[in-house]
């Protein structure tokens, strides 16, 4: 049986149309069977949708905390209009990328971030769509809103929190996403978390073109990128860290991905 890997978070729409198709075709040869293409602003919603249609993958739309605009209230309205219009779109699988970012560069607008996240969590419940969450230096704040709003399930992508935070997210039915950072020898906490999580708690992602793997950073120090084809290697890393076979890791990651994103499309492979 061929391996089928699921990429639960990427930004494939940033590539040119021809490149999108080529990158997915290349990745399919390594078992790339499905993905969630995440937009982070109203200007990307249609780009993500068209990319999904073009490649046979799924997409999500949301307002990313790092890219909020002065007109964030209007953007929230546009997000809801888009969700209403495309509620039955078979390619639409989630709301995201959304969340909170309290790193130094974005801390000043944290109050606005919280208001925007709160509204998107409410939309998640209204439209029955899970969330793809960003939570840099803001895990406890994310958890605070989960307690308040009891959202639908989702994934905390690029998880880098503590074991206690991981357990609390799991208690809310969320999975934790791992990708390029798990390939770094220095990412000891991330690698330990991926190794020790319950089997039903983790998923894989590329965050393409962000968070490149260590081998691509070494090969291209000026402009390293992650790519869809890297996903199979991340699966191998997960299998090694967890002490299981590659087939078992693939089966578990597939099951977990579809459990949290049930509308994800799965492609036929070569």
Helix 188-196 and helix 163-171: axis angle, to 10°? 40
What's the whole-model pTM score? 0.96
> Which bin fits 212, alpha (ψ -120 to 50), beta or left (φ > 0)?
beta
Instruction: Quick: pLDDT tens for 13-59.
Output: 999 999 999 999 999 999 999 999 999 999 999 999 999 999 999 99
So what's the pLDDT on residue 244? 98
User: Based on C-alpha coordinates, what's the Rg of the chain?
Assistant: 17
Kindly state the tokens that stand for 41. 């602003």
Compute mean pLDDT per 10 residues along the chain, 270 residues long, and list them.
91 98 97 97 98 98 96 98 98 97 91 96 96 96 91 92 96 96 95 97 98 86 90 98 98 97 90
What distance in Å separates the CA atoms of residue 11 and residue 44, rounded to the nearest whole number?
10
So what's the pLDDT on residue 95? 98
Q: Which domain holds residue 46?
A: 5-260
User: Is 57 inside a domain boundary?
Assistant: yes
Question: Quick one: which of 102, 169, 92 has its CA closest to 124?
Answer: 92
So what's the pLDDT on residue 179? 97
So what's the pLDDT on residue 219? 73
Where do the H-state alpha helices sit in 68-109?
A: 72-85
User: Is 268 inside a domain boundary?
Assistant: no
Provide the Cα torsion 228, 230, 236, 240; round to 10°. -130
User: Is 49 inside a domain boundary?
Assistant: yes
Phi then psi dihedrals of residue 101, to 5 deg: -145, 110
So what's the pLDDT on residue 221? 75
| Lateral strand order in the sheet of 92-101 | 5-10, 32-38, 58-61, 92-101, 131-136, 154-156, 175-178, 202-204
So what's the pLDDT on residue 30? 96
User: Is 265 inside a domain boundary?
Assistant: no
User: Is 184 inside a domain boundary?
Assistant: yes
What distance in Å separates the CA atoms of residue 259 and residue 150, rounded to the nearest whole number?
18
Report CA 87 to chain centroid distance, whole Å: 20
User: Is 266 inside a domain boundary?
Assistant: no
Our count of domains for the chain comes to 1
| CATH number of the domain enclosing 72 | 3.20.20.140
What distance in Å separates the CA atoms of residue 220 and residue 127, rounded to the nearest whole number?
42
So what's the pLDDT on residue 216? 85
User: Is 270 inside a domain boundary?
Assistant: no
User: Is 267 inside a domain boundary?
Assistant: no
- 3-state DSSP assignment of residue 96: strand
Question: Quick one: which of 240, 268, 263 has its CA closest to 178?
Answer: 240
């Amino acid at each position: 049986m061929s391996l089928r890997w699921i990429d639960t978070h990427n930004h494939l729409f940033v590539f040119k149309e021809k490149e999108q198709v080529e990158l997915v075709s290349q990745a399919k040869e390594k078992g790339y069977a499905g993905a969630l293409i995440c937009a982070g602003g109203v200007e990307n919603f249609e780009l993500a949708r068209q990319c999904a249609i073009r490649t046979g993958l799924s997409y999500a739309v949301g307002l990313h905390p790092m890219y909020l605009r002065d007109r964030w209230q209007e953007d929230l309205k546009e997000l809801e209009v888009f969700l209403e219009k495309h509620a039955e779109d078979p390619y639409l699988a989630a709301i995201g990328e959304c969340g909170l970012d309290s790193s130094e560069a974005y801390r000043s607008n944290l109050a606005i971030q919280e208001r925007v996240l709160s509204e998107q969590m409410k939309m998640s419940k209204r439209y029955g769509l899970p969330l793809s969450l960003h939570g840099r230096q803001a895990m406890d704040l994310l958890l605070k809103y989960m307690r308040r709003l009891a959202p639908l399930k989702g994934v905390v992508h690029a998880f880098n929190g503590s074991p206690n935070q991981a357990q609390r997210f799991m208690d809310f039915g969320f999975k934790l996403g791992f990708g390029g950072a798990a390939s770094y020898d220095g990412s000891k906490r991330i690698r330990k978390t991926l190794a020790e999580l319950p089997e039903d708690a983790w998923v894989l992602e590329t965050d393409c073109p962000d968070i490149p793997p260590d081998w691509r950073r070494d090969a291209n120090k000026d402009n390293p990128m992650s790519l869809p084809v890297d996903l199979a290697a991340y699966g191998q890393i997960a299998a090694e860290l967890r002490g299981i076979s590659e087939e078992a890791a693939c089966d578990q990651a597939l099951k977990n991905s579809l459990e949290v994103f049930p509308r994800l499309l799965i492609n036929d492979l070569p």
